[in-house]
Amino acid sequence: MATTMLHKHRVSVLFSFGRSLYRRINVSQGEFGLQQKCSAYSRPINTLSASEAVAEIKNMPDESRPMPAKKPISKAMKAYLLQAKNYDEFMKKQNTEFQIGRRHLANIMSMDADTMTQEDIDQAIEFLFPSGLYEPRARPMMKSPELIFPPKKAAEFDESGRPYHSLFYTMNPNFYGLLQEAVTEYVNLNKEEDNMIRKRISFNSDMKIILSGSDWLSQEKLSNLLIEQIDDAQYEQFKNVMLRLAEHPLSNKVKDFIMKYRYSLVNEAALAEIPKPSYEKDGRAYVTFKGARRKNAYADVTVHMPGTGKFLINDCDIEYFQDIQSREQVIC
């Protein structure tokens, strides 16, 4: 006697009511789709025991927390990841090339590759490839790729496409973030000022920042710092906001923040190399400067210290110059 075993198969039940009910039993859509397409006769009917069916219904996921469908990565995200990868590979390649080039250059110039500085490299390139071009940036240069190729921002949004920075959609998040930081500082300084007034504390000039001796970063430098293109209007806005902050009577408290965006001015006269004096037999010191120029005229000047106040121009008196203006230029 052949007994038919009831196999415990899944039931693919054809429901006549409620489409939502389809999803409650773990039937993959693919199977169901197939079921619909193929004729019912070609497929065996899968069956489930009653207890199993009940258990399934109990274990069904809660309606209140529907399972998120797995989204594929958007095209924008894909393109961005590809770009970032390409950039990294490119920089790596450039770096290795630069390192190899350094070693070759050290070999050519018989210098030590390990102790070679960027200045040495610049000098060597200037020697090997002399250029008559006026613009320094047009002349041949060999620099580390970080200095030549502009830096790119790190990932600005995560895999799901959600940006990290709250101001991402301003298109210049770093710039507007900076402005907001400045304003936040300003508000805090105002609060401190109010507190001081309430407590009757007097204000000193020490509490205000001294801006002399430094100047704001140029538009280009600021763009490089923030890794964002900053146009003229934005640059003006930046200067206005920062100046307003610096104008506050308590601005010395935010000195570090402000000085980040300023560079110190240099007294060029102080930087000038003072030539060392030679000495004559009687102990008088003197310095000779050769090639002092003005238009097509040039002069070799010798100055003695201690001096008599007298001078000779080509073994002549001041009368070497007939024009009064020229004489005035010598004396006054």
Q: What residues line the site for another protein (CB under 8 A)? A: 179-180, 183-184, 186-187, 211-213, 236-237, 239-241, 243-245, 247, 265-270, 323-326, 328-329, 331-332
Q: Which is nearer to another protein, 50 or 270 (CB)?
A: 270
| Token pair for 170 | 């301003």
Residue 210, SS3?
Answer: coil
CB of 236 to another protein, least distance (A): 8
CB of 49 to another protein, least distance (A): 59
DSSP state of 251: G
CB of 321 to another protein, least distance (A): 11
Q: Which is nearer to another protein, 104 or 244 (CB)?
A: 244
Q: Which is nearer to another protein, 240 or 302 (CB)?
A: 240
Q: Which helix (H) or strand (E) holds 100?
A: helix 75-108
Q: Which helix (H) or strand (E) holds 294?
A: strand 285-294
Strands 278-279 and 214-216: unpaired
Q: Which is nearer to another protein, 119 or 268 (CB)?
A: 268
- Sorted by sequence, the CB contacts under 8 Å of residue 46 that are 6+ apart come out as 9, 10, 11, 12
**Cα(216)–Cα(262) distance, integer angstroms:** 4
Say if residues 74 and 161 touch (Cβ distance below 8 Å). Answer: yes
**Cα(36)–Cα(30) distance, integer angstroms:** 10
CB of 249 to another protein, least distance (A): 14
Residue 330, CB-side half-sphere exposure with 13 Å CA sphere: 17
CB of 234 to another protein, least distance (A): 10
CB of 218 to another protein, least distance (A): 11
Q: Which is nearer to another protein, 16 or 325 (CB)?
A: 325
Q: Which is nearer to another protein, 27 or 207 (CB)?
A: 207
